[in-house]
Amino acid sequence: MFLIFLNSILILLGLIATIIGLAVGLYKAVQFIEDKTYAAKKRIENIITAVSIFHIFLILRKFSLFLVGFSLCIQFLFYSLLDIYPAILPTNIYFVVGSLMAVINHFLFLRALVKGDHYILEMIFYFIVVVWLTPFCFFLSLSANDETLPVKGTKTKTRAGELIKRLFDFSEFRK
């Protein structure tokens, strides 16, 4: 009787510690996204690339090509949102369609995982990484567009910029 009570208390404490850990992690993630917009954009781009590459593993695990292709389409939709990052609005068509497709993808993966012979930890991993990691990054990024400026992905050199740089570059005179 005492062991059952002790087991219940330990499970409850583990659940509370997990919830507190998730809350602290979410707080730190939102703080990182708001403070370091360019670094967050690069990290989200790396996450999308890694998840897209992980889809090769899904093909090797004999998931249907439709499911893998559908999931890759979602990754592409969210990747196209990086052009306007962090000025993403909840009414953006790519965001809305990507989010709806992520919900559909959730049920498609659920159906595929129930039909197949998969372990529970494998199923949780697929849901967290393949289905919800990329949309979750953009859900957290919705708060970042309030106080930040848009971030461009690449810098292009212009003639005017080169001329201004040469005019105000005094390092040649120091020699």
Angle ∠(116,120,122) on CA atoms, nearest 5: 75
Q: Is the pLDDT of residue 89 over 70?
A: yes
High-pLDDT (> 70) share of the chain, %: 82
Output the pLDDT for position 21: 92
Query: Number of H helices and number of E strands within the chain?
Result: 7, 0
Output the pLDDT for position 17: 94
Output the pLDDT for position 50: 93
DSSP 172: G
Top mean pLDDT of 7-16, 56-65, 84-93, 158-167 is at 7-16
Q: Is the pLDDT of residue 118 over 80?
A: no
- In angstroms, rounded to a whole number, what is the distance separating the alpha carbons of residues 83 and 94? 11
Angle ∠(110,116,120) on CA atoms, nearest 5: 65
Give residues with Cβ within 8 angstroms of 125, minimum separation 6.
none
Which of the residue ranges 29-38, 61-70, 115-124, 127-136 would you say has the lowest mean pLDDT? Answer: 115-124
Q: Is the pTM of this model over 0.85?
A: no
> For residues 94 and 174, which has the higher predicted lDDT (pLDDT)?
94
| Domain residue extents for the chain | 36-145
User: pLDDT-derived band of residue 115, with 50, 70 and 90 as boundaries?
Assistant: confident
Once rounded to an integer, what is the mean pLDDT over residues 140-165? 63
Supply the mean pLDDT for the chain. Answer: 82
CA separation, residue 70 to residues 78, 108, 151, 174 (Å): 13, 9, 29, 59
Measured on CA atoms in the order 90, 96, 102, 103, is the torsion positive or negative?
Answer: positive
